[in-house]
Amino acid sequence: MNISKYNHYIEQGESCIIFNAYTVSFLITNKRDINKFLLMGNFEELEKEQPQLFYDLCKKGMLIPDFFDEKATYISDVMDRKFSGKTYHMIINMTMDCNLRCWYCYENHIDNSVIGEDTISSIIKHIKLKYDKAPFELLTLSFFGGEPLLYKEKILHILSLINPIASIKGFKITINFTTNSTLLTKDFVDAIKGYHSTFQITLDGCRNIHNTIRKYKDKKAIGSYDRILESLSLIKEHLSDYELVLRINVSPQTSVGLQSMVSDIEPFLDPQRATIAVHKVWQVNEKKIDDCIINNFVKECQTRGFVCTYLDLKYKLCSCYADNLNEVVINYDGRVYKCTARKFNEANSCGFLREDGVIIWDYTKLMNRMNLQIPERCINCDMLPVCSKRCSQSLLDEPKEFCVLKEGYSKVDYIIELLNNSIVSKKRAK
């Protein structure tokens, strides 16, 4: 037997919390037994004197057989996922227009831009061709933009064209929306009840601050904060098969009054289906954000029964959907991309969707991405399986190695946040 290289030990008085980053499991036990048996390698003695502890350590992957190479197995699973054909993930940019004007948005808004019938027809042909060449079990359709719900009827039209194909071919469909949700309606919610749906919706701080940041394109319109809460209510009340990520953008400006948001949002979220995810606005200096405010917000959300992440450890075989071969972004104009976190311009394009449904890839760009390797310092890190890691776009932009863990936080901080969220998840499952 061997001790897992992904074990982490956190001493709490006479107790010890063991966290394993490969199995994403926790064990709380007596510190003396860990020091006496496990850390000293007295495995036979441990099995004789503490058989239940020995069993738990083995079950949770904290004590492993001699032959088992965790790192090699994890890397093998990463490669399987990277080239897996079970899921085909298509992201459709319905438009580059948006009804809001947020200062930090990286996209170039194009007024009145909209996916046309020609592009929709090519998408449908492509799905048929893709399945016939390499059958998949699940088609995940993500609607992105711009603001995709500017064109709700076109989204429903696309779904209506794909449904018969799914029925004939035998694959399932799930749908995702990255949306500001200000245009969500009950009619639309009713129309997507037959799908498993996922929403990512964003708030920028408390009501007063949010409304100064997430302004409408139409300057006469006001109050996007309350409109978003109404949409959260629509989802909660009228959908049953869904997941929701409520993203809270933080900056020095939005962190003021952050904790007061918890009471605002609580009535509009189902803790069984909603996760609250805190993210720094990427353009601001992280050091200017008060970590204490964020930590208190996270703890308050967890106290009220919500999974809330800022450090965000979880088991990951890929950092981002763009790392996987079986993923594509189709822009409204037929251009093809892999990443949604960069401008949708010609320089970043990886190809185009032909009229007959064939994607003509820029082979060099595609293979440069797919040939990227996990950086050596990440490969050898004892947090590898649960760390967000560097995504392929980040590695293309900046090959130099660096750690993605946030400055000012230790591994223990990351593990404790995950432990607290695990406790919340277990409580709400009862």
Q: What is the pLDDT of residues 339-358, one digit of tens each?
A: 999 999 999 999 999 999 99
As a whole number, mean pLDDT of residues 180-192 equals: 98
Q: Nearest Cα to 244, choosing from 196, 282, 296, 209? A: 196
Do 162 and 141 touch, CB atoms closer than 8 A?
yes
pLDDT at site 286: 77
What are the distances in angstroms from CA 332 to CA 116, 117, 229, 345, 423? Answer: 7, 10, 29, 12, 43
pLDDT surpassing 90 at residue 284: no
Read off the pLDDT of residues 22-76 as tens digits, 9 standing for 90 and up: 999 999 999 998 988 888 888 899 999 999 999 999 999 999 999 999 999 999 9
What's the whole-number average pLDDT of the chain? 94
pLDDT at site 107: 86
Query: Going from the N-terminus, what domains does the chain have, and what CATH number goes with each?
Result: 1-68 (no CATH), 78-364 (3.20.20.70)
DSSP sequence for 75-103:
HHHHHHHHT--SEEEEEEE--S--SEE-T
Read off the pLDDT of residues 333-344 as tens digits, 9 standing for 90 and up: 999 999 999 999
pLDDT surpassing 70 at residue 379: yes
As a whole number, mean pLDDT of residues 260-284 equals: 93
pLDDT at site 289: 86
Proportion of the chain above pLDDT 90, given as a percent: 85
Instruction: Name 148's Cβ contacts closer than 8 Å, sequence gap at least 6.
Output: 92, 93, 94, 95, 155, 177, 178, 179
pLDDT at site 95: 97
pLDDT band at 279 (very low <50, low <70, confident <90, very high): very high
Do 192 and 152 touch, CB atoms closer than 8 A?
no
Encoded amino acid at 22, one letter: Y
Crossing angle of the two packed helices 152-169 and 117-133, in degrees rounded to 10:
20
pLDDT at site 129: 98
Read off the pLDDT of residues 386-404 as tens digits, 9 standing for 90 and up: 999 999 999 999 989 899 9
**pTM for the predicted model, two decimal places:** 0.94
pLDDT surpassing 70 at residue 430: no
pLDDT band at 222 (very low <50, low <70, confident <90, very high): confident
pLDDT at site 108: 85
Instruction: Say if strands 172-178 and 138-144 run parallel, antiparallel, or are unpaired.
Output: parallel
Read off the pLDDT of residues 86-129 as tens digits, 9 standing for 90 and up: 999 999 999 999 999 998 888 889 999 999 999 999 999 999 99
